[in-house]
Amino acid sequence: MTITPIGYFIMVAGLIAVIMPSRTAILYLTIFFMPFTATAVVNLHDPSFGLQPGYFLGLLLMARYTMERLFRRDRHRLTHLQRLTLTPFIFFVLVAGLSILVIPLRDHVYVRRPSGDYQMLRMSMENFTQFAYLLFVIFLTFSIAAAKLEPHELRRAMRVLLASSVFVSLWGWAQLYMYYAGIPYPDFLFNNSVSFMQKYGQKIRLLGFKRMNSVAPEPSMFARFLLMPTFLCFYYVYNKAGSVLKPKWSLWLAIFFGMTLIFTSTSTALVGLLGSLGIFLFYILSKRGRISVKIYTLKDSLRTVFIVLLGFVGLPIALFSLATFVFGLTTDQLNQFIEILLIDKADSDSGGTRLDGALQGLSLFIHNPFLGVGWGSNRTFDLLTNILSTTGLIGTLTFFGGNWLLARRTAWLSKRFIHNNLTMLSEYPKALFFALVVRLFGKLLSEPDILYLDHWLLVGLIIATLGWANLETLAPKTETASPEVPENGKLQEAVVT
């Protein structure tokens, strides 16, 4: 066992945060280090395993929740509404466990294991390891949901998420600069996990162009994470009531994140950006969205669409200038770059492998439709075929049903806040849920796992906002209720007497 250089810092910071009186310090620290998936706090060499900072800090967060649950009088209990919303995800865990138990009943089935090897289906420790990860993220979601976050604490949590996104983006640009400047890259800092040996030197082979992956094992993983803060910044440009940043800052950050996504040189980034833009436009042009962002006429709607599309025209022009004048790429190289990412993707090794994985996953689902071939038994390259093949129709309906219920609860809570003239509070769960939709969109594109922490962080924070539903005790409805919560976000101060 080897403690990495950054591991010493994270261990000390985590232990200090977990013993602090504030229950949010360890949560903020977990959120900040969540995207550091190529980083290890501790490296184990037999078997090769690197403990990510998010998982280490998540363990401390769950330990604090458990201790408070056992020994404190003012225990953090989930409300009835929160428990109901979490129920489908708990049921999904049970379905995943049952799917493992029926593996011995499957005969002569070949699967692609999470390790990447094609093997005859059999029950192994890999199934139970993946199930342990699932239990971990669900319990972490419980711990976040039960934290009784005040609005101002949730506001800070979202700011920490954006600050973390800025840091990892800046590190990605520093990584790119060091490569072209010939400066040795300090991979021992943030790319030190023995679980991921790809390090940072990935290129587009035909062009020799360096791909940006920052603190993630590979560029596509970095891009999928960055889609989430990019969408949040777009959302906050037009939604001032519940914004955690000023619109001007949100716009500049959205442009910055968009440029960073492009330089990951992945089809996930380009398709994800277009998909996120579509989700954003669909929201702001819907009836509720227009009211939320104060767009009341067709003229306002068309102006909004024009501004957003103008930004996406200006972004490629800026990137073209940067690529040609700074990196010295020719027009032919840029055309070839775009063709590789979008047009020729299906014919490439990566595209062919993903297509084969999807078809194999669908075949396994067709032959094992109810419970699949067992949780952790097969791995494709997208979320839908992966869940279908491993947990069958029952597990798939349960997982996506849980997200659908989360959407219903979010809409209900937002209506309740608006009805009680608490406009700012209505925007927090909406922003988080739309970020979750974008994250799911990225998973449907090219990410099979639901075990990454950013997904369950969003679920936990959304369910935490359901704890504000009891307005009679938090912010009694009066005729003179303030339309917004004061800057400190205290619910009890939201009523003007």
53 contacts 43 by C-beta, under 8 angstroms = no
Cα dihedral 287, 293, 296, 302 in deg (nearest 10): -90
SS3 455: helix
DSSP 273-342: HHHHHHHHHHHHTSHHHHHHTT--SHHHHHHHHHHHHHHHHHHHHHHHHHHHHTS---HHHHHHHHIIII
Name residue 112's beta-bridge partners: 118
**Cα(147)–Cα(26) distance, rounded to whole angstroms?**
11
**Cα(54)–Cα(36) distance, rounded to whole angstroms?**
7
Determine phi and psi for 61, rounding to 5 degrees.
-60, -45
Beta strands (DSSP E) in 70-146 are 110-112, 118-120
10-residue mean pLDDT profile of the chain (497 residues): values are: 92 94 90 94 83 94 87 74 94 96 88 77 90 95 90 92 96 89 88 73 61 87 90 79 78 87 81 77 64 53 62 64 63 64 53 78 92 92 92 96 93 83 81 89 85 92 88 44 42 38
**Cα(446)–Cα(326) distance, rounded to whole angstroms?**
31
Q: Check residue 312 and give its pLDDT.
A: 60
214 contacts 169 by C-beta, under 8 angstroms = yes
**pTM, to two decimals:** 0.85
Q: Check residue 305 and give its pLDDT.
A: 64
**Cα(204)–Cα(339) distance, rounded to whole angstroms?**
12
Cβ-in-10-Å burial (0-12, 13-18, 19+) of 325 comes to: exposed
40 contacts 193 by C-beta, under 8 angstroms = yes
Which of these, 490, 465, 486, lies nearest to 144 by C-alpha position? 465
Residue that is written with structure tokens 């800090």 in the block: 57
Determine phi and psi for 113, rounding to 5 degrees.
-65, 160
Q: Check residue 340 and give its pLDDT.
A: 60
177 contacts 186 by C-beta, under 8 angstroms = no
Cβ-in-10-Å burial (0-12, 13-18, 19+) of 314 comes to: exposed
3-state helix, strand, coil in the chain (%, to 5): 65, 5, 30
Determine phi and psi for 288, rounding to 5 degrees.
-65, -40
Q: Is 139 left (phi over 0), alpha (psi -120 to 50) or beta?
A: alpha
**Cα(414)–Cα(408) distance, rounded to whole angstroms?**
10
Residue that is written with structure tokens 């910044």 in the block: 233
DSSP 210-278: EPP-TTSSSHHHHHHHHHHHHHHHHHHHH--TT-SS-HHHHHHHHHHHHHHHHTT--HHHHHHHHHHHH
Q: Check residue 231 and give its pLDDT.
A: 86
Which of these, 97, 35, 26, 16, lies nearest to 66 by C-alpha position? 26
305-337 pLDDT tens trace: 666 666 666 666 666 666 666 566 666 666 666
146-198 pLDDT tens trace: 888 888 899 999 999 999 999 999 999 999 888 888 888 888 899 888 876 55
Name residue 118's beta-bridge partners: 112
Per-domain boundaries in the chain: 1-76, 201-347
The token duo for 364 is 């396994």
End-to-end CA distance of the chain: 61
The token duo for 128 is 């139970």
